[in-house]
A = this chain, B = another copy of it.
């Protein structure tokens, strides 16, 4: 009988578990003094570069005096929003030399060096290889790179990374919640119509990536045939300002050049019931704050030697924003 129970128990243990449930067994939270973290802000003089640098400095981290940039921007002086940074071209000998010096100096001073990467799709993998060569931990928000290859530079190395296409903790949490809902309650909204409308700055041509991801989950809830092309894109100042007659939040005029407003609506077949989810973002601060959180998370993990998540667990060095969120949940 005991043997049978044991066999049953082992069989059940082998069953697949939900990702989130497994992640709940997290270790106690670890932390590091922000002043012990040095951030190499690669992607300056881009807007996200400035926003991330400002957020990290505001949180008490130190900005490295050198950073990678695209070749046309090498030597561009940084402006006075942030401490002075020398911008060197990624892939250059200068980049190798300055990177090695920076890594050496941080090590000597007992600081944890974290590179932040908001560069370009074609730079993502070469930069990841650069971080591996110099043993730099990194937080990468650059999209469009080869995520598998980038992940391999980390798992093959000894350093750590947070890699995520969306660095906003709250948006990532919202996406995870909707995704879980679709798995828990497929067809709970059968017979409901799904409509999606989003507004972004006029310069953004394609459909919101967040909308695409959320729609992929929501369509499980109503079991319907919603297509990405059915997302209504607003790229018109007047409509953005008036909130598409109540269907969207109203975009403040100063944020017309940079905003991301979304409304997902599920409406019952008889029209009597509507559920709406809206997420409206002005500017870049939620992403920059997420980057700062990710830097502190990663530096603390590195400082603790990337401890095992649990007894007999593997040492984990490659993370995403869900990991950062879950760590926050332990605080």
Write the nearest CB–CB distance from A325 to chain B, whole angstroms: 5
A21 to B249, CA, bound (A): 35
Of chain B, the residue at the smallest CB distance from A184 is: B20
The residues of B that contact A10 with a CB separation of less than 8 Å are 5-6, 9
Contact B187–A331 (Cβ < 8 Å): yes
Number of copies: 2
Q: Which residues of B contact A17 (CB under 8 A)?
A: 21
Stretch at the interface among A79-87, A111-119, A167-175: A167-175
Instruction: Contact check, B187 vs A328: say whether CB atoms are below 8 A apart.
Output: yes
Task: Provide the bound-state CA to CA distance between A133 and B189, in Å.
Answer: 36
Question: Whole-angstrom distance between the alpha carbons of A184 and B181 in the complex?
Answer: 12
**Cβ-defined partner of A170 (8 Å) among B192, B249, B271:** B192
Contact with B along A2-28 (1 / 0, CB 8 A): 000110011011000110110010000
Query: Is A188 touching B276 in the complex (CB atoms < 8 A)?
Result: no
Q: Are B185 and A325 in contact (CB under 8 A)?
A: yes
Q: A9-B6, A189-B170, A250-B246 are in contact. Are A282 and B286 (CB under 8 A)?
A: no
Chain A residues with a Cβ closer than 8 Å to the other chain, count: 56
**A:180-217 near B, CB below 8 Å:** 180-181, 184-190, 192
Complex formed: what's the CA distance from A282 to B9 in Å? 49
Chain A contacts with B in 232-284, Cβ cutoff 8 A = 243, 246, 249-250, 266, 268, 270-283
In the bound complex, CA of A10 to CA of B326 (Å): 26
Distance in angstroms between the alpha carbons of A286 and B189 in the assembled complex: 11
A278 touching B276, Cβ below 8 Å:
yes
CB-contact partner of A280 in B20, B186, B273, under 8 A:
B273
The 4 closest A-B pairs by CB, nearest first: A6-B6, A276-B278, A9-B9, A173-B188
Given contacts A173-B189, A185-B325, A188-B329, 16 further A-B contacts (CB under 8 A): A6-B9, A9-B13, A12-B13, A170-B268, A170-B273, A170-B275, A176-B185, A187-B328, A190-B328, A268-B285, A271-B282, A273-B279, A273-B280, A273-B281, A273-B285, A275-B278
